[in-house]
Each structure stands twice: as C-alpha cells, then as structure tokens.
Structure 1
Amino acid sequence: MAWTSVLAIYLLFWVMAAFLLLPFGVRTHDEMGVQKVPGQADSAPANFRPRRLVVRATVLAAVLTALYVANYVNGWVTLDSLSFIPTPEVNEHP
C-alpha cells in the first residue's frame, strides 16, 4: 500500500474521529453555572477545548489507521468473510 493511500485513509479516519468525539466532555453554560451572552443558544458549549479534541482525534485516527493497515497486510477480515448471504449453486444441467 502506498504511503499516500495510508495518509488519505488516516485523514478520513481523523475527520470521522473528530466528529465522533466532538460532543464528549462538552458542557453548557447552565450545567457549569456560567452566565450566558445575550442571544446565545441554550445548547452552546461553555468549555469547548479544540486542542484537546485535536489530540484525541489524532490518537484515535492513528490507532484506527494502524488497525486498517495491519488488516490490509495480514488479511484478517476480507470481503469473503463478510459475506453473510450464501451464493447460489449453479446447476449446469437444467
């Protein structure tokens, strides 16, 4: 597998991990007891930490990419192993 393919897969996993981790650990102003700005949405986060999100997404994407590449090299899970519908047998004589 080319390194550019690994990089592209890593970036896809990174974006997926960032969106997956986005709501975890975030609290609203009401939950933290902080005063809201006039016109602010009730669901707006009060403690959003983008640096922490980037670090967590980077680590998760690295782990997922390593598992993906290891599976690609070793062939642990293939398309044949994911096929749950049996293929019909072909009868040559009608």
Structure 2
Amino acid sequence: MSLVGGIVVFCIVWMVVLFTVLPWGVRPQGEQEGEIEPGTVESAPVHPRIWTKFAMTTLITILIFVIIYTVIDLELIDFRAYFQGT
C-alpha cells in the first residue's frame, strides 16, 4: 500500500468510525434535571465530550487500519487477482 493510499484508507475508516462513536453516551438536555440552557433546543447534548470521542475514534481506527494494512501487506487476500477476474 502506498503512502497516499494508506492516508486515504485511514481517513475513510476514521470518518466511518467517528459516526459510529458520536452517539455513545449522549444525554439530551430534556432528559436531565434542571434548566435548559437559553438559546438551545432541549435535544442538544449536555456534555458531548467531543475530544474524548475523537481520541476513541483515533484509537479504534488505528486498530482497524493495522488489520487492513496487515491483510494487504501479507497478501492474505489477493485483491489484484480478484479484480482482474483470474
């Protein structure tokens, strides 16, 4: 896998993992006891912890990328032969 190909695969996997991690632990303001912050809707999250989710996304993506890279580098699956039809 080339450097550019690796970066592209990492970015695509990172975005997919981010969208699966984003809803983890989200509590809307309407479910919490207390006042809703002025200027926001009641479905807005109370503590989104976005930096924690970015860190979790990056760690999970690194693990998945290592697996993908290993499969491609060791040629466990011959993708070239598959797409050439032989």
Structure 2 CA distance for aligned equivalents of residues 55 and 34 of structure 1: 30
Is residue 30 from structure 1 mapped to residue 40 from structure 2 by the alignment? no
Deviations 1:12-32 (A, max 9, x none): 111111111000011111333
**What is the total number of aligned residue pairs between the two structures?**
80
Gaps of 5+ in 1: 80-94
Structure 2 CA distance for aligned equivalents of residues 33 and 77 of structure 1: 53
**Structure 1 residues 26 and 78: alpha-carbon distance in aligned structure 2, compared to 1, 3 A threshold:** farther
* Deviation for aligned residue 1:39: 5.3
Structure 2 CA distance for aligned equivalents of residues 63 and 39 of structure 1: 40
Deviation beyond 6 Å, 4+ runs, structure 1: none
Aligned to 1:73: 73
Q: Given the two structures, how large is their TM-score scaled by the length of structure 2?
A: 0.77
Structure 1 CA distance for aligned equivalents of residues 22 and 65 of structure 2: 19
**1:48-59 → structure 2 map (5 Å cutoff):** 48-59=48-59
Give, as a single letter, the amino acid of the residue that structure 2 aligns with 1:43: S
Aligned to 1:7: 7
* Deviation for aligned residue 1:11: 0.9
Q: Percent identity?
A: 20
**Structure 1 residues 16 and 34: alpha-carbon distance in aligned structure 2, compared to 1, 3 A threshold:** farther
